[in-house]
């Protein structure tokens, strides 16, 4: 990593701001997540160590062995991390993200929001401590079990900013999380231009809630059932209504816009798939719906970046894993805000930001180099002092 990832490496508006950025991140986490100090190490030291673990993609065992750094041992780190309360993160994670996202978002404006789910592989045992948090699924990275997190994003000029992250639990319905997300959006004073969801949220209960609340939304169709498949394959119709759970008490009518997708498979043959979008509250053409939903796919790139700065761990403790997830999403947010504030093209008209001016890898190295200097034995910085 390093300056080779940054096209304009000789000059960067972000230079000299690394220390203040780190201090702000540490202070905002400390304000909303209580961590009990251990011995001579304060909660600031534990949070800084967590950021270092994330930026280096290391576990506590490997990171705490780095020489010449004033950091806690892995045992001390775990002792302090075990004092983190689940409710603190659950109730305050949106406040942690808001410390940076509020710098580029404005009340009363309309934004496109996206709700998506990401999985962190789990290879350990399922015990009483984590049984409610372990979600089964298709095999990925040699496991069928995952810690899953549902995140709320807002799309700003093709940049994804995280507003909240909640863990998936077996005892909770996904509609509960969606209601929490909608509550956060309204509390912040934002307006929903459109809400983008993936097929994992395809259910009559969720559609009913969104329609009753008058929330414009787009979601790909989950083609199940003979009747729906026939409608999707009917080339004579483009737009039609369909009733989910037609013969049941919770029947729900939805509107679908169908289309056909042609792709070449591995054997070189052309395959045609009949697909569609569920939509509500918008009067858009198919092309506009496709383009709008396509912006959601870039969330996958955001998840890849988030995985670059996700601390490694084998702990069964779902609270620590949730804390690590919040830290990784926060670092991604900080980078987006740094782009928006420091790397705008100076020109008339709409704001244009090129991520090639300050790649995420360059950001990660810059922040880590500053932290390393701050916690080195020779240059140890007290967080109560001003960081320059």
Contacts of residues 140-145 at CB distance under 8 Å and 24 or more positions apart, as own/partner, are 145/121
Question: Which residues on neighbouring strands pair with residue 278, listed in sequence order?
Answer: 219, 256
Three-state secondary-structure class, residue 370? helix
289 exposure class (CB count in 10 Å sphere: 0-12, 13-18, 19+) = middle
**pLDDT at 91 exceeding the cut of 90:** yes
> 159-174, pLDDT tens digit by residue?
788 999 999 999 999 9
Q: How far is CA 260 from CA 219, 232, 337, in A?
A: 16, 9, 38
> 34-49, pLDDT tens digit by residue?
999 988 899 999 999 9
- Which of 3-12, 104-113, 211-220, 244-253 is the most confident on average? 211-220
- Token pair, residue 263, equals 């792709």
Average pLDDT over residues 243-249: 86
pLDDT of residue 9: 41
Average pLDDT over residues 274-294: 92
Does 365 map to a domain?
Answer: no
**pLDDT at 300 exceeding the cut of 80:** no
Domain count, the chain: 1
- Give the orientation angle of helix 286-308 with respect to helix 318-342, to 10 degrees: 110
Domain limits for position 212 = 84-357
- Token pair, residue 77, equals 């780190």
pLDDT of residue 347: 63
pLDDT of residue 248: 85
pTM, rounded to two decimals = 0.88
Does 386 map to a domain?
Answer: no
- Token pair, residue 149, equals 């997190």
Average pLDDT over residues 279-297: 89
Average pLDDT over residues 146-164: 86
> 337-368, pLDDT tens digit by residue?
888 777 766 666 666 666 566 788 888 999 99
Specify whether the CB–CB gap between 160 and 299 falls below 8 A: yes
Of the candidates 335, 386, 341, 334, the one whose C-alpha atom is nearest the C-alpha of residue 360 is: 335
DSSP state for residue 385 in the 8-state scheme:
S
Does 121 map to a domain?
Answer: yes
**pLDDT at 224 exceeding the cut of 70:** yes
Specify whether the CB–CB gap between 147 and 135 falls below 8 A: yes
Does 127 map to a domain?
Answer: yes
- Token pair, residue 304, equals 């890849």
Contacts of residues 43-50 at CB distance under 8 Å and 24 or more positions apart, as own/partner, are 43/80, 44/383, 45/70, 45/71, 45/72, 45/375, 46/72, 46/77, 46/80, 46/81, 48/22, 48/371, 48/374, 48/375, 48/383, 49/77, 49/375, 50/81, 50/311, 50/323, 50/324, 50/327
Cα gap 160→333, rounded to integer Å: 8
The string over 205-241, giving b where at least 16 C-beta atoms fall within 10 Å of a residue's C-beta and e elsewhere, is bbbbbbbeeebbbbbbbbbeeeebeebbeeeeeeeee
Average pLDDT over residues 241-270: 87
Cα gap 388→382, rounded to integer Å: 12
Q: Give the residue ranges of DSSP H helices in the chain.
A: 18-32, 43-56, 60-63, 74-81, 86-101, 174-188, 204-212, 226-233, 286-308, 318-342, 360-375
Specify whether the CB–CB gap between 111 and 191 falls below 8 A: yes
pLDDT of residue 5: 41
Question: Which residues on neighbouring strands pair with residue 19, listed in sequence order?
Answer: none
Residues in Cβ contact with 284 at an 8 Å cutoff, skipping those fewer than 6 apart: 292
Give the CATH number of the domain where residue 255 resides: 3.90.350
Cα gap 372→116, rounded to integer Å: 34
Average pLDDT over residues 59-75: 91
Does 58 map to a domain?
Answer: no
pLDDT of residue 112: 92
Specify the higher pLDDT residue, 9 or 266: 266
- Give the orientation angle of helix 18-32 with respect to helix 43-56, to 10 degrees: 120
- Token pair, residue 70, equals 């004033």
Does 28 map to a domain?
Answer: no
pLDDT of residue 8: 43
> 319-333, pLDDT tens digit by residue?
999 999 999 999 999
**pLDDT at 61 exceeding the cut of 80:** yes
pLDDT of residue 157: 67
Could you give phi then psi for residue 56, rounded to 5 degrees? -100, 0
Specify the higher pLDDT residue, 298 or 140: 140
Instruction: Report residue 2's pLDDT band, with 50, 70 and 90 as the boundaries.
Output: very low
Average pLDDT over residues 113-131: 92
pLDDT of residue 7: 44
**pLDDT at 143 exceeding the cut of 50:** yes
Cα gap 64→110, rounded to integer Å: 45
pLDDT of residue 226: 87
Does 321 map to a domain?
Answer: yes
Does 25 map to a domain?
Answer: no
Three-state secondary-structure class, residue 302? helix
Comparing 145-154, 305-314, 337-346, which segment has the lowest mean pLDDT? 337-346
**pLDDT at 1 exceeding the cut of 70:** no
**pLDDT at 264 exceeding the cut of 90:** no
């Amino acid at each position: 990593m390093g300056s080779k990832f940054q096209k304009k490496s000789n000059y960067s508006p972000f230079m000299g701001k690394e220390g203040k950025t780190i201090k702000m991140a540490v202070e905002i986490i400390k304000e909303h997540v209580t961590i009990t100090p251990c011995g001579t190490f304060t909660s600031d030291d534990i949070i800084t160590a967590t950021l270092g673990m994330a930026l280096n993609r290391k576990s506590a065992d490997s990171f705490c062995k780095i020489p010449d750094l004033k950091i806690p041992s892995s045992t001390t780190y775990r002792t302090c991390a075990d004092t983190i309360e689940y409710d603190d993160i659950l109730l305050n994670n949106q406040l942690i993200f808001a410390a940076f996202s509020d710098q580029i978002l404005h009340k009363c404006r309309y934004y496109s929001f996206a709700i998506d789910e990401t999985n962190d592989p789990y290879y350990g045992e399922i015990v009483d401590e984590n049984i409610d948090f372990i979600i089964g699924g298709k095999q990925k990275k040699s496991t069928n079990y995952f810690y899953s997190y549902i995140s709320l994003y807002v799309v700003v000029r093709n940049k994804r900013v995280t507003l909240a992250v909640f863990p998936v639990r077996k005892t909770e319905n996904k509609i509960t999380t969606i209601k929490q997300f909608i509550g956060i959006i309204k509390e912040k004073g934002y307006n929903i231009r459109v809400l983008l969801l993936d097929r994992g949220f395809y259910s009559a209960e969720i559609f009913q809630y969104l329609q009753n609340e008058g929330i414009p939304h787009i979601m790909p169709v989950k083609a199940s059932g003979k009747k729906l498949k026939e409608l999707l394959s009917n080339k004579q119709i483009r737009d039609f209504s369909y009733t989910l759970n037609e013969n049941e008490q919770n029947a729900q009518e939805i509107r679908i816009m169908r289309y056909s997708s042609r792709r070449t498979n591995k054997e070189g043959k052309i395959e045609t798939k009949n697909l569609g979008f569920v939509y509500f509250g918008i009067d858009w053409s198919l092309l506009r719906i496709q383009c709008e939903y396509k912006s959601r796919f870039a969330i996958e790139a955001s998840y890849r970046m988030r995985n670059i700065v996700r601390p490694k761990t084998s702990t069964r403790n779902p609270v620590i894993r949730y804390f690590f997830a919040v830290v990784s999403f926060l670092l991604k947010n900080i980078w987006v805000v740094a782009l928006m504030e420091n790397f705008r093209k100076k020109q008339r008209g709409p704001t244009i930001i090129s991520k090639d001016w300050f790649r995420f890898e360059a950001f990660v190295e810059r922040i880590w180099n500053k932290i390393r200097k701050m916690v080195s034995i020779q240059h140890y910085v007290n967080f109560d002092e001003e960081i320059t």
